[in-house]
Structure 1
Amino acid sequence: MLLPKQYHFLFCLFFYVLNLLGQDKGKAVSLNKIIIDIEQQHQVSFNYLEENIAGLQLMPPKRSLSLDQKLEYLTQSTNLSFENIDNKFINIHKNKELTQKICGYVFSATDKKPIENANISLNNKAQVKTDYNGYFECIKTNTNTLLVSHIGFLSKRVSADNSDPKNCFQIVLEPEITELKEIKASAILASGISKNTDGSFEIKPKKFGILPGLIEPDALQAMQQIPGVNSIDESVSSINVRGGTHDQNLFLWNGIRMFQTGHFFGLISVFNPNLAHTISIYKNGSSAFFGESVSSVVDISSTPETTEKNSFGAGINMINADVYGKYNLSKKSFIEISARKSITDFVETPTYKEYFNKVFQNTTITDFAQNQNVDYQSDKQFGFYDATFKYAQKIGDKDQIILDLITIQDNLEVFQSATAYDIYRSENNTLRQQNYGGNLSWKRNWNSFNTTKINIYNSAYELLGNQRTSIGNQLVIQENTVNNNGINLENQHILNSKFSLNDGYQFNEIGVTNLERVSNPDFFRKVKDVLRTHAVIVEGKYNDTISRIYFKAGTRLNYIENFKKFIIEPRIQFNYGINKNLHFELLGELKSQNSQQIIDLQKDYFGIEKRRWIIANNTSIPIQRSKQLSLSLFYKKNDWLLDIENFYKRVNGITTSSQGFQNQLEFVRTTGDYEVLGTEILVQKKMNHFLTWFSYTFNNNNYDFPNYEFQRFPNNFELIHTVSWAVMYEKNNFKIALGTKWTSGKPITSPDVSQIDFSDPVLVYHKPNNTNLHVFSQVNLSSTYKWESVKGIQYKIGISILNILNRKNEIGEYYRISSLTNSIEEVETFALQRTPNMSFRVSL
């Protein structure tokens, strides 16, 4: 039997349930409250007059309905019209006002072309944007003053009192000249180069000024001016970032990984300097969407950020000639083609001769010449070319498809012969290096807050060497090929004005083949390896310009199919503005890499391009893994700039064969790591038309090979001290730059003379890298001048001189036993001697 208190409890519970059921049926609320709920749920903004909605009450729509369904419900329930503009702004009007509209077209005053995405503000509340034709329309209200604005143009107010829907406004915007001053003020090292909030350096080649020794905005040459970036052998195929090897850098061209980066075996970049629009360089703290790298990232994009007019250009210098063209097929599509080829097939310029002497010194080709008789003969042919193709197509207002293709090739043929002691000897050498690539990307803007991008890419690399000798009629063939393909998916979600979230998936497959074939005696070896990896990426960014806080953190989770192994790679970028002049920056990352370049023998491929690509096997060739942390202070005031950065970097899983040893470790196969501790300082001052800067870099870089008798010793790529200075003058169309670079000598290993029997010499060395070369010092000069004809044709002439003082800088040294004298000889390698270059370019 129930007690009275129990009856009381059930009675209350009964009426409580009835109340809940009543709430499910709903009750009328004010339209103002409904509007607030819809704004919060769908991230939209309503524009209306208070008197139009005052006193209106109705049943709220279900939260499960879409935005359009809710607006349709409100339209049917009220005497109002709800105009949805891009799912972002919603204008509320009384029905009688629907036919009163304002329309117009917005054009640029410079080229009379329509301006897309211009903002049209009505009463500073309602906002619309122009389409790709520059067209807009909006509802007419009591106060009819339009504010028309767009980045890069001066805002304009237009009275719409006498507007006619049948005759739309023709509004012309003047360009905002002050934008140019802001770009120059942000220059670092040169105009067109800036440092971003995320710690990366960005180069805009079309706005590039001038640097010592450069007359073109070459990406790989320009990046060597950045503190912490060097080339220990003066080559763009051997760029060392904070003590790392060249293959530890990731080079991307429009999403395609490039395995060949240099023409003329490293003296010229394969990337056409007149083509790129944006080059981003990350020494540390790169995005989690970049994988397969334990050192830097160089991301090159040739896609314009805004629509550009048709253009054409052609140029020539003392090494190559190039041509470039861009043609708009329609308002939504264009094609872009570029090609470049060496002129060495037709003429041998002084520049070519200096390059040739630099590249081929101490190779098997020059060794043949050193042992020649008086009747020595040589016939050589060398040439290179590169070409690119781009097709871009917008589909509707939300989709875009871009196709990029690139091809690169270097060819060398050398025939040598001589007769010594009545014995005829000849060699016919052929060396080919090439890289092909393609990328198809699709981008869709689902709405103002969500974007998806998908890339499908392929990159194929080949290094082929053939050597045929008359003695024994021997043929030696060496081949190294790489085939890399994959797919990238990236989604971007803008949660609010300060916070965004990116997520994605990447699949990558890389196959590497190494082949060796010898006749007389017969020998054949072919090794092919394939590695497949999957990666899931999540990355968030918080950017508050008012509080001067920038924070970006991400994680990359790699899964390697072959090894059934997971690798987590967190990344972080933090920038805090202590005040408007002083910024503190923290960058950190963990990264991994599955492929690397090694040297089996120093005379492979005639000793010219002796590195070959291989992939990790998780045993004798481990996966390389790195960790890096850097702290910096960036100060800028009154045209002064000071950047001080301290960093720590450690890379595990390196092999001795990847480090280019030419001492007792040349034939030793073991694994280890290297550790770098360093400081980079840049001081810059701008004075009217002058810009001058001074940089200093300190590196303490050491190997650690635990299974070798000398466990710890200096890294082959250690440059303890590097000092650079430059001064540039730019006024109107004339530019000139003078600069010098000084580095302490690279480590080398000297032989232990006390342990060598010179009657039957065998090389015995001291501890690896026990001494250093002499200092490297070079002074460079460059200058350009540009003018324009009355028909709008632009002409540009440039001149540069590398190593003006003609200093003989030693960049390499090793020892060998001479086959002729049976004695130990010292072999030295030197940098470029004084090397002039000139260029001439025409642009339309």
Structure 2
Amino acid sequence: MFFFFLLVFNLFGQDKGKAVPFKKIIIDIEKQHGVGFNYTEDNIAGLELNPPKQSLSLNQKLEYLAKKTNLSFENIGNKFINIYKKESEQNRICGYILSALDKKTIENANITLANKTQTTTDSKGYFELFKEEKNTILISHVGFVSKRITAGSSESKNCLQIILEPEITELQEIKTTAILASGISKNADGSLEIKPKKFGILPGLIEPDALQTMQQIPGVNSLDESVSSINVRGGTHDQNLFVWNGIRMFQTGHFFGLISVFNPNLAHTISIYKNGSSAFYGESVSSVVAISSNPQTEEKNAFSAGINMINADVYTKYNISKKSYIEISARKSITDFVETPTYKEYFDKIFQNTTITDFSQNQNINYQSDKKFGFYDATLKYAQKIGSKDQLILDLITIKDNLEVFQSATVYDINKSENNILRQQNYGGNLSWKRNWNNFNTTKINVYNSSYELFANQKTTLDEQVVTQENRVNNNGLNLENNHVISPKFIINDGYQYNEIGITNLEQVQNPDFYRRVKDVLRTHSFIAEGKYNDTISRIYFKAGSRVNYIEKFKKFIVEPRMQFSYGINKNLNLELLGELKSQNSQQIIDLQKDYFGIEKRRWIVSNNTTIPIQRSRQISLNLFYQKNDWLLDIENFYKKVKGITTSSQGFQNQLEFVRTTGDYEVWGTEMLIQKKMDHFLTWLSYTYNHNNYHFANYEYPSFPNNYQLMHTVSWAGIYEKNNFKIALGTKWSSGRPKTSPDLSQFNLSDPVLVYNRPNNTNLHIFSQVNISSTYKWEAGNGIQYKLGISILNILNRKNEISEYYRISSLTNSVEEVETFALQRTPNVSFRISL
């Protein structure tokens, strides 16, 4: 009975004696063998025949159908089968359109012949056309690069397989506009981006100075008003990484910190990272400031020149050809020719409580002084495109400050004089090559050098003594970066960096003779990999990477993971999470407060992995960003810890000044910004809370407040911009920085020795300053633009104390309080002409 039923079912399944529609036959074959047929309805219309046996293979069934009909069957990889009439075989063009990215078929691609005959691909990516004399085919589809091919006679019997390359357009990161001022925006990766050429105005600023501007950002301060002492979330200035066109800069300020060395009229983009920086940035445990003068689009020839009450500058860009241009900028102080009120305020602020002013304070009669001070900086850029895929860029920068002070006095018929020379300079060069291999892969290689020198020489006639001090840094590097576009939303970057830093410190004294010269070199190899996912539709941005450093001298590996995550909860509310681990092998220390005349007293050194450890940091922050109806609210909470700091790097002027030990600092806090824009008026209010403590386990007081702690900081600004007129008024208020008071109850006049209370047991007075600035721009009939700017720092002329320490007076044997104050009321005027 079992075999009987099987036989009956088999007879019914074959249905050998009955013809069925051809379309039903191929549908059954598709189901049984998992293939797809491509055909035109005209070729199979009305066709009926007996179906082939189910037990036959796919090719056997196709042979059977070919014998029974006037059709040809083309099997492509047992996946697609093309059906066409035998008599039209030589007159047709057929093909499949596939994506190069995933080899999937492309539906609805447009196929066009030279005679304008058109068709589109079906759901299987198939198309079919009749040949003509010129068989040039244009294939196009949205999201893919169009392709033009010629179908030759050799391809007449087989269908084409045409691969289309995706047209990659990287989704632009979402940026908020006009945060703090026009020209400042926030990226999806948490960084702030400044476009100097689009910069509006900020209180006290008439030029888009990068380092002055960043001090308006919550969490960024300078306790002594210097761009050479910028503190980000409790870090020291040397813990920040400053990069100009791929060159690490060791000098950041002119006039010993009151003016940025980066020409504000040159930069195109300034990126500032407080946390979550890319894995391609190393040698920093605090923030990253990356300055680029490379334009994102081609620009025409340009020329501009300007002057203010401190310096004059000139800038020019000239297109040598369609593929090359040269760019030159230069800036020089005008103090060689005139002493303006601005220069006087700057000079008095910088040189207070230094050996130079100490000399004048101790003079009795016939005191004379001759001062010469000047600075300059210059840059050169040459860019050359080579073919359609390569670009070569050369960047050069030179920076120099020079001070000469001759002082003399006659005391009791004895002539006493000093000749002081102080020089600070930084040279840099970078050669970069970029190649776009295709739409998916790009390679960048750059080789750079940065050389820094701080030199001081003091000659005294009374004791015929000559003191020479020198700090030199030579930094060489090689960077390789590859960018791989996996899809329009996903990008992978990888690379390698080699860094060599050599630092020399020299001290030489004549009468008595003393000589010490120390040179240290560190070489580091870094391997980097990171991936970025950016989906503007789902409002998800995620970037994660890691940097693996290998330090040759210590045979030590350090792994530094980085992460940035941003999610748009809705179109108005955004959540951001940033985290990073970083390390740093070089730092600045102070051996003696009177080094380099007490003006630029910090010197660069490298780690020895023992008494001077490698500094390592970890940081995490959570940010909530809301923007709607011209309102903006930004709240960020953070935690940061830096290990491996030394007491000599923190600028102590108390009982820890000569103590040499290592430890860490730990800071946590909140940064808040609320902003409202109304037509031409923009106003904002920011608040920062920082709780920052040192931890020195081997010291008698293992924990106490950080020297750079500003527990509360409040800033406000009101900005009006209409047409070519801009004005900004603002104020900054902060609680005083910590200081250490002496314990006068233990002071003994017979044996005058300073005895201190617990380190940083109290605070300076509150810091408060009101600033204003305004600019006006107009254009003459010949196309020349003019710009006039006016600013006043500290309008109310408030006497703000920025540091305080104590010493024993040699005249009275009593405790003497030494105070340093911020700038008094300081005006500035600028004028600029642009072509």
Does 1:36 pair with 2:98?
Answer: yes
Partner of 1:427: 418
TM-score, normalised by the number of residues in structure 1: 0.83
- Partner amino acid, structure 2, of 1:48: I
Alpha-carbon offset, residue 818 of structure 1:
1.7
Of 88, 104, 117, the residue aligned with 2:145 is 88
Q: 1:404-441 deviations in whole A, cap 9, x for unaligned? A: 00000000000001111222211100000000000001
**Partner of 2:660: helix, strand, or coil?**
coil
**Aligned pair partner of 2:618 in 623, 627, 642:** 627
Q: Which amino acid aligns with 2:420?
A: N
Aligned counterpart in structure 2 of residue 682 of structure 1, from 664, 673, 679: 673
Tell me the residue number matched to 2:468. 477
Match of 1:367 among 330, 355, 358: 358
Q: Deviations over 1:510-542 (max 9, x none)?
A: 000000000011100000000000111101001
Q: In 1, are the aligned partners of 2:170 and 2:488 still within 8 Å (CA)?
A: no
The aligned counterpart of 1:9 is none
The structure-2 alpha-carbon separation of the partners of 1:38 and 1:759, relative to structure 1 and needing over 3 Å to count, comes to: closer
| Mapped contact 1:87–1:447 kept (Cα < 8 A) | no
Inter-partner Cα distance in structure 2 for 1:459 and 1:571: 26
Q: Which residue of 2 aligns with 1:780?
A: 771
Q: Contact 2:244–2:292 at 8 Å: present in 1 too?
A: yes
- Does residue 378 of the first structure (1) align with residue 440 of the second (2)? no
Alignment match, 1:822: 813
Distance 1:24 1:687, change over 3 A: closer
**Counterpart residue number, 2:535:** 544
Contact 1:278–1:300 (CA<8 Å) still a contact in 2?
Answer: yes
Distance 2:339 2:118 in 1: 82
How many residue pairs match? The answer is 735
CA, structure 1 residues 25+265, in 2 after alignment: closer, same or farther (shift >3 Å)?
Answer: closer
Q: In the superposition, relative to structure 1, how do residues 440 and 480 fare at CA in structure 2: closer, same or farther (>3 Å)?
A: same
CA contact (8 A) 2:110 2:120 kept: no
From 543, 547, 551, the equivalent of 1:556 is 547
Contact persistence 2:171–2:534 (CA under 8 A): no
Aligned runs of 1:180-259 on 2, under 5 Å? 186-259=177-250
Larger radius of gyration: 2
Task: Quote the offset at 1:127 in angstroms.
Answer: 12
Q: Which of the numbers 76, 95, 111 marks the counterpart of 1:48? A: 111
Task: Report which stretch shifted further, 241-250 or 22-31.
Answer: 22-31
CA distance in 1, matches of 2:618, 2:170: 43
Match of 1:457 in 2: 448
- Among 716, 729, 737, which residue is 2:728 paired with? 737
Indicate the residue corresponding to 2:654 in structure 1. 663
**Amino acid aligned to 1:330:** S
Asked if the contact 1:47/1:92 (under 8 Å) is kept, the reply is: no
What is the one-letter code of the residue matched to 2:411?
A
Q: Secondary structure at the match of 2:439?
A: coil
Please report the RMSD computed on the Cα atoms of aligned residues, expressed in angstroms: 3.1
Equivalent AA in structure 2 for residue 402 of structure 1: I
SS in 2 for 1:223: helix
| Amino acid paired to 1:373 | N
Q: Is the 8 A contact 1:808 1:833 kept in 2?
A: yes
Is the Cα–Cα contact under 8 Å of residues 787 and 832 in structure 2 kept in the other structure? Answer: yes
CA distance in 2, matches of 1:75, 1:401: 48
Distance 1:339 1:44, change over 3 A: farther
Contact 2:451 2:472 in 1 (8 A): yes
Report the counterpart of residue 823 of structure 2 in structure 1. Answer: 832
Measured against aligned partners, the alpha-carbon deviations of 1:669-698 in whole angstroms (never above 9, x if no partner) come to 000000001000000000111000000000
Give the match's secondary structure for 2:356: helix
- What per-residue deviation string (whole Å, max 9, x for no partner) do you get for residues 484-533 of structure 1? 01110001111111111000000000000000000011100000000000
- Compute the displacement of 1:449 (Å): 1.0
Map 1:685-834 → 2, pairs under 5 A: 685-834=676-825
SS in 2 for 1:426: strand
Match among 336, 339, 343 for residue 352 of structure 1: 343
Partner residue in 1 for 2:628 = 637
Other-structure match for 1:407: 398
3-state SS, counterpart of residue 220 of structure 1: helix
Q: Is the 8 A contact 2:111 2:120 kept in 1?
A: no
Cα separation, 1, equivalents of 2:423 and 2:556 = 36
Please list the CA deviations of residues 122-161 of structure 1 after superposition, one character each: whole Å capped at 9, or x if unmatched.
xxxx9999xxxxxxxxxxxxxxxxxxx9999xxxxxxxxx
Whole-angstrom distance in 1 between the partners of 2:822 and 2:130: 78
Shift of 1:89: 2.8
Asked if 2 retains the 8 angstrom alpha-carbon contact of 1:52 and 1:93, the reply is: no
CA shift at 1:297, angstroms? 0.2
Match of 1:338 in 2: 329
Are the aligned partners of 1:52 and 1:94 in contact in 2 as well (CA < 8 Å)? no
Corresponding letter in the other structure for 2:246 = G
SS at match of 2:347: helix
1:216 match: secondary structure: coil
Deviation at 1:49, TM superposition (A): 5.5
Residues 526-564 of structure 1: CA deviation (Å, up to 9, x unaligned): 000000001111010011111110000001011101100
The 1:78/1:549 distance shift into structure 2, 3 A limit, reads farther
The CA distance in 2 between the partners of 1:512 and 1:232, in whole Å, is 27
Of the three residues 374, 385, 392, the one matched with 1:394 is 385
- Segments of structure 1 that go 5 or more residues without pairing to the other structure are 1-14, 61-73, 97-125, 130-148, 153-181
**Larger mean Cα displacement after TM superposition, 503-512 or 80-89:** 80-89
CA spacing shift, 1:369–1:493, aligned 2, 3 Å: same
The CA distance in 2 between the partners of 1:795 and 1:92, in whole Å, is 55
Deviations 1:203-234 (A, max 9, x none): 00000000000000000000000000000111
Deviations, residues 689-723 of structure 1 (Å, cap 9, x unaligned): 10000000000000000000000000000000000
Q: Which of 235, 243, 251 pairs up with 1:260? A: 251
Structure 1's 38 and 441: CA in aligned 2 closer, same or farther, altered over 3 A?
closer
Which amino acid letter does the alignment assign opposite residue 35 of structure 1? I
The verdict on how the C-alpha distance between 1:564 and 1:32 changes in structure 2, with shifts beyond 3 A counting, is: farther
Work out the CA distance in 1 between the residues paired with 2:799 and 2:271: 34
For the residue of structure 2 that corresponds to 1:362, the secondary structure is coil
Whole-Å Cα distance in 2 between the matches of residues 370 and 78 of structure 1? Answer: 99
Aligned match for 2:501, one of 487, 493, 510: 510
The CA deviation at 1:24 is 13
Contact 2:345 2:824 in 1 (8 A): yes
Q: Is the 8 A contact 1:44 1:89 kept in 2?
A: no
SS of residue matched to 2:709? coil
Q: Distance in 2 between matches of 1:26 and 1:617?
A: 64
Cα pair distance change 1:815/1:304, threshold 3 Å:
same
Residue 569 of structure 1 pairs with residue 560 of structure 2: yes
Query: Following the alignment from structure 1 to structure 2, what is the Cα–Cα distance between the partners of residues 755 and 256?
Result: 52
Q: What is the distance in 1 between the residues matched to 2:455 and 2:232? A: 28
Superposed CA offset, 1:236-284 (max 9, x none): 0000000000000000000000000000000000000111000000000
Aligned residue in 2 for 1:101: none
Amino acid corresponding to residue 708 of structure 2 in structure 1: F
- Partner letter of residue 699 of structure 1? N
Residues 437 and 457 in structure 1, CA contact (< 8 A), matched pair in contact too: yes
Q: Percent identity?
A: 75
Instruction: Give the letter for the 2:443 counterpart.
Output: T
Deviation per CA, 1:88-132: give whole Å up to 9, x if none: 332467789xxxxxxxxxxxxxxxxxxxxxxxxxxxxx9999xxx
- Give the conservation status (yes or no) of the 8 Å contact 1:478–1:605: yes
